[in-house]
């Protein structure tokens, strides 16, 4: 059992977020805490010139509202935090600040950006000072 769990919830499918939150709730100590962390990736200024000035602030507020609603609907008490920045850095900083003893995050289908910039999961697993549970969606056997 874990006292402080950081759950990384990205922009993926709702079922993935639900699976991660259910795992966290099942692994949590009686008096433990779940912190749901989401990162709004920062974009270079040249990419944001056509976006409204408050785009990032609006994205953060929207994510906070959606995550709060999700936790409420699932009846899972959690602290919600949304920060701007690199997902791996945001997660690692949150885990450090909270004194987390577990980080739960999910894999996704790799794309070209993972090969160029590296995957968030790889960075978190490599640099975390606590245990990391990597959730993998079960792929049904087609054979």
Which neighbouring-strand residues pair with 19? none
Q: Torsion angle, CA of 94/56/22/16, rounded to 10 degrees? A: -120
User: What is the residue extent of each domain of the chain?
Assistant: 2-135
User: What does the pLDDT look like over 55-95, one tens digit per residue?
Assistant: 778 889 999 999 999 999 999 999 999 999 999 999 999 99
Overall pTM > 0.75: yes
Classify domain 2-135 at the CATH class level. Answer: alpha beta
pLDDT value of position 138: 64
């Amino acid at each position: 059992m874990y006292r402080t769990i950081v759950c990384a919830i990205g922009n993926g499918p709702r079922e993935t977020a639900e699976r991660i939150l259910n795992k966290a709730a099942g692994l949590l100590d009686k008096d433990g805490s779940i912190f749901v962390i989401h990162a709004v990736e920062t974009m270079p200024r040249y990419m944001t010139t056509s976006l409204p000035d408050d785009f990032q602030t609006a994205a953060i507020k929207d994510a906070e509202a959606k995550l709060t609603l999700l936790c409420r609907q699932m009846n899972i008490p959690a602290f919600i935090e949304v920060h701007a920045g690199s997902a791996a850095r945001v997660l690692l900083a949150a885990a450090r600040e909270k004194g987390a003893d577990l980080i739960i995050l999910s894999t996704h289908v790799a794309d070209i950006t993972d090969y160029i910039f590296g995957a968030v999961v790889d960075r978190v697993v490599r640099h975390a000072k606590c245990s990391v549970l990597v959730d993998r969606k079960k792929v049904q056997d087609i054979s």
